[in-house]
Structure 1
């Protein structure tokens, strides 16, 4: 969810620039810098020609100044937009689909602009050799002045590739090597589930037992929440990091979060977000509690249990749980995120993540782990099979998630996988059981897209190569009748986050999509049922049932396919409140659950929200009595609560994985 929201925000930032041109268009040549200056509404244009299946890398040096980049493809669709830092270097990286002329636009960011030099670093065909392709895709992290990445690929017990790029520690100029331990974030969840299954198989824990048997101080909501619910993200509990972010806690700025807060959060939660087993809501709270159960039942600290019962017997000698983020991990990577000023910052790891994350490991140890899942020396085949069996919700639908593992297919082959993201570490482990194969990628760069693992897997494992679709007739977007889009118009709720809704509309021949709390984006047809989003690297495919009725859509971005279900009923009309309407909303509000105040005020005709530590933000009206906004916890939706006299007495906030958090008016 966060990926799509960040893309929309980026598109909005870039879309505000005018297309006023500096008349000349200069061709880019690999390795030859071209300089320029932009200010105000200027746009400098550069061109290059590329075939399909090419890798294009472009660097801009802001000298000094603040510019933004966007690359437009031969079909006049914006393929990539970049404006991450105010000074220094920025890179734009694209894998081409179409043959023809591409245009790079350099714009003055925030109308400030300045001098710049742009260099085409690469414009070459993607290699058919998997190892060379790996180097092409990971080249942006092959550097000595920034964090790096590492990748390992194996099949049939044989390592096909193990390679590292870039730096593990910038402060001491230590390179990232294949033996460097690194934080794998939520990829750790499968290890917690595996540890729980060891206790289940020993008869010490029951999957369908009430979690309050093991943690009796948890609040009793009048419904049985089981250990199985914990491992499948179907509890109904609030998500810890999303919730505390609403209080002004700056997790993105290294604010500490303690493990004891899991229980405290649930004790103050007034009711469950959903009935146990009725909804999949990816949730760190659940796995934090699972680690507590393991520790209590085994009568060992969780990190010691993992070391003695899991890591050592499997031979994972370079793996450990970081129980305390203030205790260093010897020889490990430091995670970095790039500030707007262009500098790399070490923001540390998430506090309280043990069980949900917090494992440091190496490429070789992850391969050993994968081999144990395939042919267990520790644990049992039956227990691992349960981990790899998707959970079925009470409505009969599958979640596509087992115990700490996602289970789906990639081009017809079963795929078992899990990604991870700590503050500034990224990870992916993907296994293909029928092939006896797997791949893992790691990075200590907070902007790394770990779904690159799926693209590399297709190169190394021929069975995963996309099957070419038979060509019937060439689709001509110019001749496509926009009125056909009316069959798709409506609202679609993402299955993984039902509160996040995509609206699709048509105005004449122009097609739009708008996500909850975001501005509109134009769409261009690429087939009778698929559309590319302008300004972001994403597309949407619509789904029909056997009766040809449109029932859903699939958001495609970064190798991930996120299904969305069509909502029944008319599209909610946009709400345009007057200044007088907004003035009646303004006031001071308090959440007893989170013990925090929010201030809503009217400024320059806009409704503003402020929190003591989070600062100020704009609330954008979407539909009647509903606003979208942003906080350190992420994008949120705010819905007003009114009394019988139509006075605003409070509001409810939904933020990603925590919903219906009430704030009452106090002033």
Structure 2
């Protein structure tokens, strides 16, 4: 009895200690705090007390750990979340005009990642800037602090009412020679190039040298088969169904350098489309490569020279040019870098000069002139920009939120013209324009390991335009979102042996996070939810005791995943259980050599220790995993075709929406 009494006393003491544990308070003089997680403590909380009109900024650096950070107000409502927003670390910031007590919650991104550690440091606590420009510079303090270190970075330019109100650079253009980024540093601006190709096409449409209804084969007889089905408008609005040239080049045996001319040759090898032209919108670089070639054939000059004569020289963009040579030496060039952890970095040359869709270089100084064109009061400029920002339409009449190389949408109720870009080498870019408020901005980065684009872009927009945002209103005949009835569905579920998904509530929305792809679920009834983004449904299974330990994902009437709930303590046993349930086909029926005449590629499939191995001369050895039915994954999605009960003699390879159903046929039958 005495032993039992002491046991209960120990338990009570432990509970009391947990209940009375102090939440660390952060202030301007706080020393850096280093912490780690374990299975019993999957999050940490820190308190920040702010007086009126204060700006707070803290940063985290991690060691073998991926984290996310959330901020809650005094009522317990989440007001912001930060994840993957920094370079060799992340930041969290609070702007408080009224003051109050805030809670910062830090947790591992995945329930499987409880090892490693992080360090939290307060970077500044000061009064909110008085002007918009001061507040933007304040928001950029994190990057300014990072620029003092030996790191690559970014540049930002903002125009309002035709005037440049901010133009700043942070970090290094070249780490080897310690060269800082400046306003004249030349970046590869990636897919922002499409709007310049769009300008060229719109100009030729205005001059009646080209019609949107023309068939592509009129200008590109090399594509006589597929080109006869596709119109110029399909290339402009991404409704052509053509496979993406980047995916084709990455997969196929087409050498190490890719130019527009080589791209045209590769596209001519394709026998089928991803979908019927005009029936869907699917972003594809291929269309804009072909548009550049068409412009060249109509103008009888290179797209490089046409752009120089008709865009860059008139707008005094003296350091901007189309690059049709992947080996070109570029003065004032910003080099792109990648970071792994806090140590390893390298630069990467992707060997591409895909004019039309990318391969355009510019600087902050130059892009400011392009933004001024967006805001021009010149009648001809306004007419051309109106053409460029006219939305496309599908055959059904449904509008496509895309114009001539520009996305045409709304942000918080405000008309918004924009485009983003990234390259395998490591550049990230964004351009945005709010026509009703004459506000335009551009952000260039030379590091793929940071994600400043959406974060900084959102800061710019909210600083200048938040007073104009559309406020949510209660719709008639709607049912109030009942948080209490959905909270029991929150948690981690095992989608397959290699991936967990998380269901959670954020700002009265029920969301799922699947490998950092976040989608909203819409409630159908008490336990069923619609996941429209993935054309799927989710059913949560409630047991006799009211517990929820299972969720089933279906699509088109088929079960995609039967997911058990997991915690940090049982995740390994759940994975093992899932693996034992999988019934795999006979791998010996599949092994052999397959060939695609669209990719000029041989693939050999063999079995090694009960594991299917895919081998190509380009990609080396790639393990592929069985998923369900006749499907495998690991090198894209492979579907083996069984006919008349015989062993498969071909398979279809797909990689997302940009490359569908490339046929490989067995050649050693």
Sort the TM-score into its range (normalised by shorter chain): 0.7 to 0.9
Distance change (3 Å), C-alpha of 1:125 and 1:573: farther
Q: Check whether the contact 1:81–1:535 (CA below 8 A) recurs between aligned residues.
A: no
Q: Which residue of 1 aligns with 2:178?
A: 173
Question: Which residue does the alignment assign to 2:202?
Answer: 197
Quote the Cα distance in structure 1 between the aligned partners of 2:305 and 2:664.
41
**Which residue in the other structure is 2:91 paired with?**
93
User: d(CA) in 2 for partners of 1:529 and 1:36?
Assistant: 30
Q: How does 1:304-319 map to 2 (within 5 A)?
A: 304-319=305-320
The structural deviation recorded for 1:104 is 5.0
Structure 1 contact 313–378 (Cα < 8 Å) conserved = no
Asked if 2 retains the 8 angstrom alpha-carbon contact of 1:303 and 1:320, the reply is yes
1:278: how far off? Answer: 1.6
Q: Is the 8 A contact 1:517 1:620 kept in 2?
A: no
Per-residue deviation, 1:389: 1.1
- Whether contact under 8 Å (1:626, 1:637) holds in the other structure is yes
Mean CA deviation greater in 367-376 or 151-160: 367-376
The residue number in structure 1 matching 2:46 is 48
1:499-578 paired onto structure 2 within 5 Å? 509=489, 519-526=499-506, 529-531=509-511, 533=513, 536=516, 538-542=518-522, 553=532, 569-574=556-561, 577-578=582-583
Q: CA deviation at 1:234?
A: 1.5
Query: Cα 1:200–1:534, aligned 2, differ >3 Å: closer, same or farther?
Result: closer
> 1:57, 1:123 within 8 Å by CA — same for their partners in 2?
yes
Q: Secondary structure at the match of 2:393?
A: coil
1:653, 1:517 → 2: CA distance? 22
Equivalent residue, structure 2, for 1:6? none
Equivalent residues in 2 for 1:130-279 (5 A)? 130-142=132-144, 143=147, 144-221=149-226, 223-247=228-252, 255-279=256-280
Of 602-611 and 356-365, the range deviating more from structure 2: 602-611
Secondary structure in structure 1 of the residue aligned to 2:234: helix
Q: Structure 1 531/59 Cα, relative in aligned 2: closer, same or farther at 3 Å? A: closer
* 1:371 shift after superposition: 2.5
Decide whether aligned partners of structure 1 residues 579 and 660 sit closer, same or farther in structure 2, where only a CA change above 3 A counts: closer
> Who wins on radius of gyration, i.e. which is larger?
2
CA distance in 2, matches of 1:268, 1:645: 31
From the superposition, tell whether residues 43 and 411 of structure 1 become closer, same or farther in structure 2 (CA, over 3 Å): closer
Q: Distance in 1 between matches of 2:597 and 2:502?
A: 41
CA drift of 1:627 comes to: 2.7
Q: Does 1:461 align with 2:465?
A: yes
Partners of 1:587 and 1:601 within 8 A in 2: yes
Contact residue 159 and residue 372 of structure 2 kept, 8 A? no
- Give 1:361 deviation, angstroms: 1.6
CA separation of 1:51 and 1:341: change in aligned 2, threshold 3 A: closer
Local SS of the residue matching 2:173: strand
* Larger displacement relative to structure 2 (302-311 or 615-624): 615-624
The 8 Å contact of residues 187 and 363 in structure 2, kept in 1 or not, is answered as yes
Q: How do residues 289-304 of structure 1 correspond to structure 2 at under 5 angstroms?
A: 289-304=290-305
Could you tell me which residue of structure 2 aligns to residue 645 of structure 1?
645
In the alignment, the residues of structure 2 paired with residue 640 and residue 125 of structure 1 have an alpha-carbon distance, to the nearest angstrom, of 61
1:155-195 per-position Cα deviation (integer Å, ceiling 9, x unaligned): 11122211111111212211112232222111110111111
Give, in angstroms, the shift of residue 91 of structure 1.
1.0
Distance (whole Å) between structure 2 residues aligned to residue 517 and residue 428 of structure 1: 36
Could you give the per-residue CA deviations for residues 476-517 of structure 1, whole angstroms, max 9, x where no partner exists? Answer: 74x2247xxxxxxxxxxxxxxxxxxxxxxxxx8466789999
Number of equivalences = 587
The CA distance in 1 between the partners of 2:605 and 2:181, in whole Å, is 47
* 1:15-74 per-position Cα deviation (integer Å, ceiling 9, x unaligned): xxxxxx9xx999586763456799x99989764224799866444475xxx455455777
| Alpha-carbon spacing, 1:133–1:644, altered in 2? closer, same or farther (3 Å) | farther
CA contact (8 A) 1:31 1:119 kept: no
Alpha carbons of structure 1 residues 227 and 72: separation in structure 2 relative to 1, 3 Å? closer
Which position in structure 2 is the counterpart of 1:633? none
Q: 1:109 to 1:136 in 2, by over 3 A?
A: farther
Distance 1:44 1:397 in 2: 46
C-alpha spacing 1:135/1:121, structure 2 compared with 1 (3 Å): farther
Kindly report the root-mean-square deviation, in angstroms, between the aligned alpha carbons of the 2 structures.
Answer: 4.3
- For residue 645 of structure 1, report the CA deviation from its aligned partner: 1.4
Query: What is the CA–CA distance in structure 1 between the aligned matches of 2:494 and 2:292, rounded to whole Å?
Result: 39
User: Which residue is equivalent to 2:31?
Assistant: 32
Helix, strand or coil: the match of 1:402? coil
283-292 or 178-187: bigger deviation: 178-187
1:108 CA displacement:
13
Given that 2:591 and 2:604 are in contact with CA atoms closer than 8 Å, whether structure 1 keeps it comes out as yes
2:338 matched residue in structure 1: 337
> Is the alpha carbon distance of 1:161 and 1:470 closer, same or farther for their aligned partners in structure 2, counting shifts above 3 Å?
farther
Partner of 1:355: 356
Q: Are the counterparts in 2 of residues 166 and 176 from structure 1 also a CA contact under 8 Å?
A: yes
2:376 matched to which residue of 1?
Answer: 375
Q: Unaligned 5+ residue runs, structure 2?
A: 1-17, 96-100, 535-552, 563-580
Q: Return the offset for 1:81.
A: 6.9
Name the TM-score, length of structure 1 as normaliser. Answer: 0.76
Deviates further, 609-618 or 529-538? 529-538
Residues 626 and 579 of structure 1: CA distance in aligned 2, closer, same or farther (over 3 Å): closer
